[in-house]
Homo-oligomer: A and B are copies of this chain.
Amino acid sequence: MKKFINSLDSLLDESLHGFAKAHAEIVRFNPQPPFLTRTLPTRKGKVAIISGGGAGHEPLHSGFVGVGMLDAACPGQIFTSPTPDQMLTAAQTVENGGGVLFIVKNYAGDVMSFEIATEMLNCATATVLVADDVSLPKNHSIGRRGVAGTLIVEKIVGAAAEQGMTLAECKALGDKVAACTASMGLALSSCTVPALGKPTFNLAADEIEMGVGIHGEQGRETIKLSTATDMITPLVAAILEDLQPKKNQPVLLHINGFGATPLLELYLVYDIAAQRLQQQGVSIVRSLVGNYTTSLDMAGCSVTVSLLDESLLALWDAPVHTANLRWGC
């Protein structure tokens, strides 16, 4: 394993210190328990938006703390759920009279930790569960996983909270965005979790994993490596089958790299996915391409589509100032 590490024990802490130092005008790091909050104070009565989850998916969620998006992010150890005291203390720190909305990716450990924190809090709370990975069936026993669509929920709900929506309105909006967002990914290679020191799973030199999860969870099937078009087309097809967009439906198309796939390839993937969507009469009105919900050093990518309407589009376009998503300010 070749990584920039001093010790496994201090890896996350050192990285978060560096992150907060590099972006001191945007975020502050609370080391014990670990969470990140905004540097700038928020308006009294604003709903506090908090997310979190295992580290190793950066910039998700830490890179999205800031004006117009998250109020706090709670990173667990790599690919490990954060503990309830992180969300509890983060919520107590950023709650500002408007209540707290948790945005939670659908993993059993994350869900449980956020639930415990909710029970311990003495303020109004609500939770939006993100489960956008259509590689699993809708009726899967533990539900679908939350993956790259989480960023879209965080951006849109974050903008709504900034504009003064109430907790109930933010919760309803988050549920709406989560319901109209679908993702599917594929891995060309495994990632290597530092504590494990070797690849999480094995793929032969001519194999890829269709429908892989962002921690390297098994997907729909292991298939042979093929052309980019032949690999990406089934992802778009699965998403369209799930979302059933109407003719001329405006959408946001997000191509997400898992960490080790060059932008050169991600834009080629974008071109393929965009052509497939246009062939189905879908109208791509916004695009986001890059490494946003990563899996350490995994090679591969995911495709995410969100159905938009005028109000969602305005919220997506609203100013955002975070370390890794910034426009309009």
Residues on A lying within 8 angstroms of B by beta carbon are: 2-7, 11-12, 14-19, 21-23, 55-56, 58-59, 63, 78, 188-189, 205, 208, 225, 227-229, 231-232, 255, 259-272, 274, 287, 289-291, 294, 296-297, 299, 301, 324, 326-329
Contact = CB atoms under 8 A, between A and B. Distances in A.
B23 A268 contact: no
Nearest to A328: B329
A301 B21 contact: no
Dominant secondary structure of chain A at its interface with chain B: mixed
Given A14-B268, A262-B294, 8 more contacts: A2-B205, A3-B188, A4-B232, A6-B228, A15-B265, A18-B272, A21-B270, A22-B270
A73 to B, nearest CB: 13
Contact of A263 (B59, B262, B289): B59
Contacts of A290: 324
Contact of A4 (B14, B58, B231, B328): B231
Contact of A23 (B225, B255, B265, B287): B287
A262 B17 contact: no
